[in-house]
């Protein structure tokens, strides 16, 4: 026997005829994985993009149509989602007349984006086009996103201004859309709207700012390297959830919660676990929710053992035990009020919207989703995320 181990192994392997991989199956399986991720990614819209220059120029956009002024509060206790051109909002359905690719709620209605990136206001007065969004680079790809304050009447997006990309904010209470210029070519990064204040990164001015959307007055939250590495995931009632050292295209190994960038408590996730950046604070800022990825080993590789929807006390970090069905894939969607959270739950042969209450953790089915809703790219969650890829 003079053959080496290597050549014997080569001969053994070469003696076998393998079937080629099934590319169609790979495409189908990958599509299902993308859908799962989209369900997660759609939640990431708590992060937003917006920017205002130091001398923020506030422009009043001429309305192409009569403004859709409405002040009737929308019942916000029902779960919400959209399929096709229909918004499901609690017990009612709203036909908006265009395919909904992104959706955010406000206190008086919704704001949507269609397949052509046209932005619409949806209220009891009807459906009105209020602008056009553009895709901005994020994590190596480009997204169109909507942002809103569900307890207020404002919704925002990135649009095109006279000379650059601008943050545009529509007020459903007045019917006006304002544009906020950044004074540079780099696209703004819109983080969130909270109580008539927008949070964004202004790359040309190398800072992260909070801007009063009524007056244009701004407050700088971070500058220089700190601003470049700062990502704000959610702002509610003045409480911020953010990361100071987030890696591009990475999930979160820790988050910070506080009322300022420099005075915040850091929560670190356990070893071999990371959170999606779709971290959402409750309206009062007392609770936070996110989707946790538990890996079989070091999380740098795509080897997820489990997806866990978690809710924690934003002050103490105490974990709330949720009574969601098992096995299932549950995604926290949106807070309906300070103590009620909407979940999308996918399980064997079923898809449901659940509502869970904190701190008790009890959960109930709020709606059964039709099979068509969870196939393809049909289901749109009220998180502002784009489902049009």
Partner 1 sequence: MVAQNWESFVEFVAARSSALQRAAYLMVGDVGLAQDLVQEALVKTCGAWPRLRDPGAAEAYTRKVITTTAMAWFRRRAWSAERASDRPPDTPAPGHADGVTDRAWLWQCLLQLPPRQRVAIVLRYYEDLTEAQTAETMNCAVGTVKSQVSAGLAKLRALVGDELLLPPESHEVVTS
Q: Which residues bind partner 1 (CB under 8 A)?
A: 1-6, 8-16, 18-23, 25-27, 29-30, 33-34, 37, 140-141, 249, 296-298, 301-303
Residue placing its CB nearer to partner 1 in the complex, 17 or 60: 17
- Looking at the Cβ atoms of 34 and 365, the one nearer to partner 1 is 34
Specify burial of residue 48 (Cβ count, 10 A radius: 0-12, 13-18, 19+): buried
DSSP 260: S
- Please report, to the nearest 10 degrees, the dihedral formed by the alpha carbons of residues 144, 150, 156, 157 taken in order: 0
Q: Judged by CB, which is closer to partner 1: 39, or 257? A: 39
Residue placing its CB nearer to partner 1 in the complex, 5 or 75:
5
Q: Smaller CB distance to partner 1: residue 16 or 75?
A: 16
CB 248 → partner 1: shortest distance, Å? Answer: 10
For residue 242, say if its preceding peptide bond is cis, omega within 30 degrees of 0.
no
- Taking the C-alpha atoms of residue 45 and residue 59, their distance in angstroms, rounded to an integer, is 25
Q: CB of residue 12 vs partner 1: minimum separation in angstroms?
A: 5
Task: Name which of 199 and 293 has its Cβ closer to partner 1.
Answer: 293
Cβ of residue 299: shortest distance to partner 1, in angstroms? Answer: 11
Rounded least distance, CB 34 to partner 1, Å: 7
Which tokens belong to 278? 């779709």
* Burial class of residue 204 (count of CB atoms within 10 Å of its CB; 0-12, 13-18, 19+): middle
- Tokens in use for 254? 């820790």
Strand order in the sheet with 80-83: 92-95, 86-89, 80-83, 379-380
Shortest CB 295 distance to partner 1, Å: 10
**Shortest gap between Cβ of 229 and partner 1 (angstroms)?**
20
CA-to-CA distance for 333 and 353, rounded, in angstroms? 9
What residues are paired with 376 via a beta bridge? Answer: none
């Amino acid at each position: 026997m003079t053959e080496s181990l290597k050549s014997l192994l080569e001969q053994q392997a070469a003696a076998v005829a393998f079937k080629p991989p099934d590319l169609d199956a790979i495409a189908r399986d990958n599509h299902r994985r993308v859908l799962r991720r989209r369900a997660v990614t759609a939640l990431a819209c708590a992060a937003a993009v917006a920017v205002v220059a130091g001398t923020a120029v506030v422009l009043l956009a001429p309305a192409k149509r009569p403004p859709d002024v409405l002040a009737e509060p929308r019942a916000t206790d029902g779960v919400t989602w959209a399929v096709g051109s229909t918004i499901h909002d609690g017990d009612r359905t709203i036909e908006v007349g265009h395919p909904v690719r992104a959706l955010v709620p406000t206190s008086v209605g919704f704001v949507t984006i269609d397949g052509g990136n046209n932005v619409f206001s949806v209220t009891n007065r009807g459906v009105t086009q209020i602008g056009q969004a553009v895709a901005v680079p994020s994590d190596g790809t480009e997204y169109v996103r909507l942002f809103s304050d569900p307890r207020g009447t404002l919704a925002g997006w990135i649009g095109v201004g006279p000379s650059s990309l601008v943050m545009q904010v529509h007020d459903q209470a007045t019917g006006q859309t304002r544009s906020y210029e950044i004074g540079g070519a780099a696209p703004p990064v819109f983080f969130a709207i909270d109580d008539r204040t927008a949070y964004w990164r202004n790359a040309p001015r190398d800072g992260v700012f909070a801007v009063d959307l009524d007056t244009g007055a701004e407050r700088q939250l971070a500058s220089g390297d700190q601003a470049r590495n700062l990502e704000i995931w959610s702002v509610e009632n003045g409480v911020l959830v953010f990361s100071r050292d987030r890696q591009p295209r990475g999930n979160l190994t820790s988050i910070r919660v506080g009322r300022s960038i420099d005075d915040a408590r850091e929560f670190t996730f356990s070893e071999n676990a990371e959170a999606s950046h779709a971290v959402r604070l409750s309206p009062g800022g007392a609770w936070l929710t996110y989707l946790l990825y538990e890996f079989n080993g070091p999380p740098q590789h795509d080897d997820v053992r489990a997806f866990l929807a978690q809710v924690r006390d934003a002050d103490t970090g105490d974990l709330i035990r949720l009574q969601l069905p098992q096995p299932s894939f549950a995604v926290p969607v949106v807070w309906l009020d300070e103590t009620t959270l909407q979940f999308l739950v996918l399980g064997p042969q079923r898809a449901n919207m659940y509502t869970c209450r904190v701190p008790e953790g009890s959960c109930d089915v709020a709606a059964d989703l039709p099979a068509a809703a969870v196939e393809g790219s049909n289901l749109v969650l009220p998180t502002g995320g784009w489902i049009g890829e």
